[in-house]
Structure 1
Amino acid sequence: MKKIACLLLVLFGLQNTNANSGIKSIETDYTIMKVRVMQYKNTTKIIGTSYEGTVVCYDYSGKLQWKNKLSGFMNNDIYCADIDKDGKDEVLAPNADGNIYCLDDDGKLLWKFRQNSAPLLSATVVSDGTTKYVVCGGYDKNVHYLTTTGKLIKSIPSTSYSIEKKFKNHAINYLRTVQQNGQEVLVVLSAFNTNYDQGVLYYFKPLEDKPYQFAKMKGKGGGGSCPGTFAINDIIPGNTEILLGGNGLNKLQVSVASVEKCSAEKMNFRFNNERTDLGKVGYRLASAEAVPYKNSFKYYVLFGSRMFLVAPEKNGEATEIIESNYAFNDMCKDANNQKILLASAQSGGSCIHVLDYTNNDWKKDFEKLNPPGKIAKILMNTSDFSKKLRKFKTPNWESQKVTVKVMSSGLEKEEINALARENSKNLVIIEDVRKLYPHVENWDRSEMENKVSRETRDHRKKYDLTSNQAFSSFKKGLDASGTGIQYWQGHGRDVYFYSLPTIKRVVDYAGDKTVIPVFAELEQHDADIEWMVEDFMYPLASYLQGTNSFISMRNKHLFWQSVVYTPAWKRLVSGEFPDAFVSSMEESNSKTMDMSISGRMGLWAAGSMNQWGARFTRDNPCYDRLRQLSYQKVPNHALRMFVHQIASGASVVHNTKVNAAYQKVLWDMIAKGILYVPTRNEIVSFNPVHVSMLTPDSLFLERNHVKDVTIYDADFEKNNPMVISRTTGVFAGAPVTKWDFSNYASGAKERRLEFLPSYTNGMVLTTPPTDKNSKRGTLESHLHPIYKNNTKEFFTDGRNYYSDVAKTKTYKADEYYTTVKKAIEEGAQKMPLTVKGRVAWVTAQTAPKHLRLTLVDGGYVNPDDRVATVTFHTAKVKKIINLLTNEEVKFNSEKATIIVPCGLFVFLDIELKKAL
């Protein structure tokens, strides 16, 4: 009973509530992304904003004061200030939908302001004497001054004051106010690029058009230098500092800017071993605050799951490191109450954590913190699932035909062997070639005709191996593995890490074992790429065709719906090498995952490739590197993504090891067979409508830029409606248009982390155009018999729709989408079933009278209990069984309602009265 009582305390948010705790956790039932404090006369209240954009207010006892769902889109910032001088703060929420929302102290909407469709990133309040102004800005590159009732006073374009020679303008990364010489001034932090830009601090007197001073960050910009957090240290009078936390893979950078001196330099951390002290490799965003200490202060820097306590003096105390079990979405200081507030844990948490930095116990409490609420629920649900999985027996009518090849499982040799004994037919694990990275072959490229291929090198690699030395490493890897090896063959422009003769030698030596060359980020679509593909990629593919080896192409953004349809890749799309190419993704910083799945599955279903792949890496949850939150310690988001994509037929899985003990449940599911992997002709959840991609329109190709944040153009957006739109970096988290593929097909409402898309009317594939003379065959020839003579094809180049491949008639995206949408809805009626709810789903036929329905909690980083409504169309159902629990599910002839547990999935067997 004691254990049950403790579990209930954790689940319902009552952990760490005794008076002596250094940390208290407030359960909100939301994934809290940002935290702030607001003043309510003589008291302080906690403000949070959720993943969905809901603003919540709590008091320090943990009691909810109010909440407001606003627009349903994310708030990029929260700022609290008393703008009407009644002693109670209002709340400003600059939103991804382009609005700034102003809420009163009770959470009621006072007003909103919107200048255009560009997401707003930041807001503040500045005073000019007794007059106050609301100031906001973002990706439209303007500083907007508003009255305290939301009326526009003036806009200051960044082109009018930017000092950068390379850029004519910049996005508004942050807006805040500081005191200088007794006067309040506005500080603007610029941004040009989300990956290689440190920005400039501009100081403005209220309402003035030009800054009176500015501070550039010292040093060259590089990966990990972009500021994503902004805090002010005013503990010591006359020594005000601005603390800017940078982003990065394994690089901790905090810039400290002196307001009075108008200077900026990097914080000195004084580590013993920087790589070890930073913790395990992963993409993180630093948050910094200054906390009083003796007669001075210390910087508290949150970076991933570690808190660094840094002395400001150059010869001060060594940096102290306190490590938690979790990383958190945000941190802010409440100076009045001597507290640090932490937003929810990045692994799907739902709490606001209150750290009392005056309490000597806070450090040990931080180290052992296990958040209540959804984190506890996810762990409990996964544990319960694993226990029940041990008793699972594959139904006797199921016979899985597909073997899943897992690249980098993270498992130890003994665990790999145990899984092979469980079911080697279902699962094969292929590991890296050890001790090879970062060494690659140094071979003679001088005779290459193409200058780019001849001269390009990856700066992260050491070109220091002979062919024999490289082959020796590959040979050792193959000798140590019973299944095969995978390795990096190229990145970006340089695909020549190892010469073709060396790799042919390796493939020959491998015999029946698998060799997987990985190519990452082949995004370009120019003549140089065309030359490279013909010189290296296709000869390699030709050599691999007919072997057990294949190429894994790990490409970003919209590659599988745009670049793959450019001239360089025509032979791939044609089906000339269906066994030699496998699609995968480098999802970092992408915003179009729902379409990535459609594109990869479309090429597989059409016969261009006979396998398709899925990949997880640490920065998958990043949709905007300026706010990079990608250090999940419990990779539940990856688990659910893999379950959905493998259940959809993905048979090549590239995994980055994070918490291997937790991830092991996935490999167990594949080996045991509860995660059924269908062939393409077993899937019956494809919508009969498919959208065929023609040669991409140039504007569609150009909109693949996700790191440049200075390209928003209101006139362009108004005058160029696109079938696939708002894909650039300036639309991170923004609403999709009503005529966008994501809206009418996948059910996505925004450009953010749609790894688990709903596709309520069934998966709408994006495919090559039907060509009966193609080597790949026709789409219908590869699909389930229910699709024979039953598919409907639409044509697009990403910008417009067309009547046919020849583009005889052109249809505008914002007009013709209703025709496509209607066809998809009508097509759904011809399917066995469809599913509504915030779930990802897939249906496959496992026997003449049996369907496998897989349902997955669709909240990627905001998991929750989900309600899935299954509607039956052509399927005449006899019985539904939950395969994990063996329990019968209630239904009627038309519908069934299924609860998908938080962070989990449900596997159903649907027995039919008669075969499809």
Structure 2
Amino acid sequence: MNKFFALCFFIVLTNSVKAQNFQTEGDAIRHTVVASVGGESILYIGELDGSVSSYTMDGEKKWRVKTEDPAVLFEIEAADINGDGNDDLLAANANGNIFCYDSSGELLWKFNSDHKIRFSEVAIVNNKEKVQIFAGGNDYNLYELDSKGKLVSKTKIKGVVRKIQTGNFFGDKEDLFLMTYNHDKFRWDFLGFIDSATKEVIKNAKLKDKRLKNLSKYMITDITVSDINGDNKDDVLFFGDRSMQPQFTALDSNFDVLAVYTGNKKQTQRYAHSQGTFLPSRNEIMFQHGGIIMVLDTQGKVVKEAGSRYGKMVFSDFTYDPVSNQLVAGGTVDGGNVVRFFDLKNDKWWDTKHKKEGRMAEVADNLKKLYEQTLNFKLPSYQKRSDKEWVMSTRENIDPKLDKLNGGNVKFVIQKSPKEGTDRSPLVALLGDIALKKDRRGKYQDTREEIVEMARKMEEQGQPFTMWAGHGNDPFYIQIETLEKILEVAPTTCYGFVYAEMHNTEDPRVIHFINEYLPRLAKAIRKNNRAKLMFRYKNMFWAATSHLPLWKEMFFSGKYNDFLVPASEDTSNRIQDLNLAGRIGMHSGGYINDFAMRLIDDNPTSWRPLSPCGQNTVSPYLRQGVIMASYGARFGIVSTSGFVERPGLNILFALMKSGVIPIVEPENIQSIGSWHLIKDVDEKLVHVVDDHHKVKHYETDDENAVFSVAQMHWAGASIPEHDFSKLALGVRYRWLNYLPQIPKGMVAIAPVESKQKLQTEKIPYFVSNAKVGYIGEKKVSATEFGATIKEKVAQGGQQLNILVNGASWSAIRIDKNHTRLVLVDPNYINPKQHEVIVKFQNRTPKSATDILSGNEIKLAKEIKVNIPAGSMRFIDIAY
């Protein structure tokens, strides 16, 4: 691309034409690059799930190729690969392929390794008319391909590829810049330059290089290459954040720092999406950090700044068009499919105001309609108002319009997070110095008396509350004696305590908590309180890790089922579908009385450097909440930052308070078709998946598991055909799949001890240890076991009265003659309208009514129903 820029830069910019924003025919735009075709600039566009397209700068679609094997599209590049004078398109897809399309959209070739790999980067070197293509991913190899897509060489490298870029770094030819990680957001394994001809390291930077001390602490979210100091050698530009404040560094090929920008507290935004690029026509650097766009000079000094903290319209990607002298913004991180332009001839280009258009305008309209209809909903005569209440721990500003709704009761609870500074000598005597280890994210300055007094005052004021009481970094935010006293002084307003990420069963502090704290808390809670213990775990804790001996005794023994409430970090987990099925199995299997949803606009992929964060729409969080509530989640730990537009989660609360979503008891769920039982869970698999910050866990055997490619380094990867998530839950890749389509009904996960009950009730089930399956007592490989999963899931689906294809869904018994069908757009941050097929079997309905619009739906054995983009429908089936 640098050569293209240089070629076009002579064009007289005053003669350029300003392009108009346009909506694409595709879905969530993730990448845009400018290419030259027929002597004119065109755009190549990559979508989140792998589809690619080409558009003119005027918005005319030239072609679009829809992906047949969805997975995250990590990178696209443009260059003349076939020598016809036009730029072709290269794409690195996490389905394990490198694709090359010519300028007409024809697939020139597809490279696939002889083993499963998640490709995340591709780059093109063109020296003396020799084209070299380099690609990399998670298997510790740098791949070199020729212009025909044939493998030329493989070079062993350290770490998981974070970035491959080409450039003229040393003044004579194009070489490679390579960065690899061993940690999901910090601590590179390799950062340096590689000779494109020999593949030898030219030079590399050590993590402890004092010049790079600041850079080593960034979460780097974008890297680009340009000559910013005018020495005819390319430099490397790093964009990211530290403590959620924007950070920028530019290095030359000697690793000397050319420019630095360090943000301030006023720019702090939680997991803001940060992107940047160099603008040669203005000799400026643009830097988007969440809702803020900054213009930097080539030393990193801020020239101008526009937008606002937690501002709107957070763009997915930027590219520069030298012909028209425009900055192109592709899509938005919440699923936008609009291309927008900034005219760089305008001295205030950075302050250009863009309106909401395309897919996200459609979603906003759909949610507005949903909210209005919900606020006007009245319970039908056949629906009884539940005596139970929803319990939502939230910081949201509650809309007064909810006051008029009386179809359900929502208790809004505040969460406090004191950290107790009481002496820990008694704990040290029992556990050793590890008891002194504390969480660096807070100051331990609250006394026991102050914390208890805080609880006493909230009891006097009638203010419901929970307290965050511990974390895997320190289970003792609040000590047991203080917890007991809180329960004593606040018997009606203390709704419980929250614990997060305490997954390490070898940690003596965790063991002490389970053996000593838990029995004492059980006694105190049962004495005179309604409190619950909410445990937040991500990865696949509720599907697999919870079946390890220590956890199994805690969560599945029945000792504490009246107050344990499992939750998951639902918005920052690439295997959310497994945790959902696990919690449903715990609840519907009778092992717990309640479970919780955690809706926080955290980074929602857990591959942090490439996280599409800062969503403006509440749609993904809303849809997650609806699905969980529709399967029995009555508690919530929910909050959104300033990115999310109003009315936000008030839509979810309105659905609860109106009775559109009833409080769901296990016996009323009519969409669980079959069960997956866990026996002797594979401990090695569990531990490498739970180790979610370290990415160097690649093994060729990762694919051969019932819960496969679940480790951190597989984030974004496609799922093999035998995998449980694909066969049972309709999930196709490991990224933002919290809303499984369950084409044969939900498949709940529970311990093998549920076998007898399922046999008695003649409900299909199958057994695995998460790595291999069991046929009888015989262990069989996951690839062989896939046939058993498919068979049992199909049997379960045949026993249901309703099956849905194309949506995330639930069927809830309202009374003996009415079922509420909940249909949700299953795409997370690529929302779109879905036509779904609803099949009736085993029982013939007499009517179907959309309860929000009041419209009757014409019945047949199978009916087609449209779900609005980013939204949902509620249909009552009468028998």
Distance 2:491 2:519 in 1: 21
Aligned residue for 1:793?
765
1:390 to 372, 375, 378: 375
Aligned residue for 1:858?
826
The answer to which of 350-359 and 146-155 deviates more is 350-359
Pairing 1:563-712 to 2, within 5 Å after superposition: 563-569=545-551, 570-587=553-570, 589-619=572-602, 621-658=604-641, 659=644, 660-687=646-673, 689-704=674-689, 705-712=691-698
Show CA shifts across 1:89-131 (max 9, x none): 1111111011111111111111111223111111111133332
Q: Is the 8 A contact 1:27 1:372 kept in 2?
A: no
User: Are 1:347 and 2:334 matched, yes or no?
Assistant: yes
Aligned residue for 1:539?
520
Q: Is the 8 A contact 2:677 2:752 kept in 1?
A: yes
2:204 to 214, 223, 235: 214
3-state SS of paired residue (2:62): strand
Aligned residue for 2:11?
none
The Cα of 1:779 is off from its aligned counterpart by: 5.4
The answer to which of 651-660 and 575-584 deviates more is 651-660
The Cα of 1:509 is off from its aligned counterpart by: 1.3
Q: Is the 8 A contact 2:455 2:490 kept in 1?
A: no
Pairing 1:74-153 to 2, within 5 Å after superposition: 74-115=72-113, 116-153=115-152
Residues 173 and 184 (structure 1 numbering): CA distance in 2 closer, same or farther, change over 3 Å?
Answer: closer
Distance 1:510 1:424 in 2: 28
The Cα of 1:22 is off from its aligned counterpart by: 8.8
User: Are 1:183 and 2:173 matched, yes or no?
Assistant: yes
Distance 1:300 1:289 in 2: 6
Q: Is the 8 A contact 1:216 1:263 kept in 2?
A: no
Aligned residue for 2:811?
843
Q: Is the 8 A contact 1:29 1:351 kept in 2?
A: no
Residues 248 and 607 (structure 1 numbering): CA distance in 2 closer, same or farther, change over 3 Å?
Answer: farther
User: Are 1:288 and 2:276 matched, yes or no?
Assistant: yes
Show CA shifts across 1:120-151 (max 9, x none): 11111113333221111111121111111111
Distance 1:266 1:431 in 2: 44
1:473 to 454, 461, 464: 454
The answer to which of 792-801 and 137-146 deviates more is 792-801
2:396 to 404, 410, 413: 410
Residues 252 and 803 (structure 1 numbering): CA distance in 2 closer, same or farther, change over 3 Å?
Answer: same
Aligned letter for 2:617? V
Distance 2:760 2:76 in 1: 53
Pairing 1:54-73 to 2, within 5 Å after superposition: 54-70=51-67, 71-73=69-71
Distance 2:130 2:17 in 1: 44
The Cα of 1:574 is off from its aligned counterpart by: 1.0
1:377 to 336, 355, 362: 362
Residues 686 and 670 (structure 1 numbering): CA distance in 2 closer, same or farther, change over 3 Å?
Answer: same
The Cα of 1:205 is off from its aligned counterpart by: 2.2
User: Are 1:813 and 2:811 matched, yes or no?
Assistant: no
Show CA shifts across 1:193-245 (max 9, x none): 11222564321222213211223464558997232322122254316321122
Distance 1:458 1:655 in 2: 22
Residues 506 and 497 (structure 1 numbering): CA distance in 2 closer, same or farther, change over 3 Å?
Answer: same
Residues 249 and 599 (structure 1 numbering): CA distance in 2 closer, same or farther, change over 3 Å?
Answer: farther
3-state SS of paired residue (1:696): coil
Show CA shifts across 1:407-441 (max 9, x none): 115125xx47x6456339521110123xx556765
Q: Is the 8 A contact 2:29 2:48 kept in 1?
A: yes
Distance 1:557 1:429 in 2: 28
Aligned residue for 1:34?
31
Aligned residue for 2:468?
488
3-state SS of paired residue (2:75): coil
The answer to which of 626-635 and 855-864 deviates more is 626-635
Show CA shifts across 1:666-692 (max 9, x none): 2112111112231111111111x2111
Distance 1:895 1:139 in 2: 44
Q: Is the 8 A contact 1:135 1:175 kept in 2?
A: no
Q: Is the 8 A contact 1:554 1:584 kept in 2?
A: yes
The Cα of 1:57 is off from its aligned counterpart by: 0.6
Aligned residue for 1:551?
533
Runs of 5+ consecutive residues of structure 2 not aligned to the other structure: 1-15
Aligned letter for 2:119? L
Q: Is the 8 A contact 1:171 1:709 kept in 2?
A: no
Residues 171 and 752 (structure 1 numbering): CA distance in 2 closer, same or farther, change over 3 Å?
Answer: same
The Cα of 1:356 is off from its aligned counterpart by: 1.6
The Cα of 1:371 is off from its aligned counterpart by: 2.4
3-state SS of paired residue (1:332): strand
Distance 1:647 1:465 in 2: 39
Show CA shifts across 1:367-404 (max 9, x none): xx222111111111111222222331101111143421
3-state SS of paired residue (1:887): coil
Aligned letter for 2:260? M
Q: Is the 8 A contact 1:590 1:706 kept in 2?
A: no
Aligned letter for 1:877? P
User: Are 1:512 and 2:492 matched, yes or no?
Assistant: yes
Show CA shifts across 1:228-278 (max 9, x none): 32212225431632112225661322221112x332477224x5xx12133
User: Are 1:245 and 2:242 matched, yes or no?
Assistant: no
3-state SS of paired residue (2:800): coil
Aligned residue for 1:262?
255
Q: Is the 8 A contact 2:89 2:100 kept in 1?
A: yes
Aligned residue for 1:229?
222
Q: Is the 8 A contact 1:35 1:343 kept in 2?
A: yes
The answer to which of 230-239 and 72-81 deviates more is 230-239
Q: RMSD of the alignment, in Å?
A: 2.5
Structure 1 vs Structure 2: percent identity of aligned residues?
Answer: 21
The answer to which of 131-140 and 328-337 deviates more is 328-337
Aligned letter for 1:64? K
3-state SS of paired residue (1:203): strand
Show CA shifts across 1:492-523 (max 9, x none): 14110111111111111112223321111122
3-state SS of paired residue (1:540): helix
Runs of 5+ consecutive residues of structure 1 not aligned to the other structure: 1-18, 160-168, 773-777, 781-786
1:873 to 841, 854, 861: 841
Give the count of matched residue pairs: 848
Q: Is the 8 A contact 2:727 2:790 kept in 1?
A: yes
3-state SS of paired residue (2:91): strand
TM-score by length of 1: 0.88
Distance 2:792 2:74 in 1: 36
Distance 1:248 1:574 in 2: 43
Aligned letter for 2:314? A
The Cα of 1:626 is off from its aligned counterpart by: 2.2
User: Are 1:764 and 2:747 matched, yes or no?
Assistant: yes
Aligned residue for 1:530?
511
3-state SS of paired residue (1:877): coil
Q: Is the 8 A contact 1:249 1:284 kept in 2?
A: no
Q: Is the 8 A contact 2:228 2:235 kept in 1?
A: no
Q: Is the 8 A contact 2:165 2:225 kept in 1?
A: no
The Cα of 1:762 is off from its aligned counterpart by: 0.7
3-state SS of paired residue (2:180): strand
The Cα of 1:611 is off from its aligned counterpart by: 0.2
2:265 to 275, 287, 293: 275
Q: Is the 8 A contact 1:706 1:727 kept in 2?
A: no
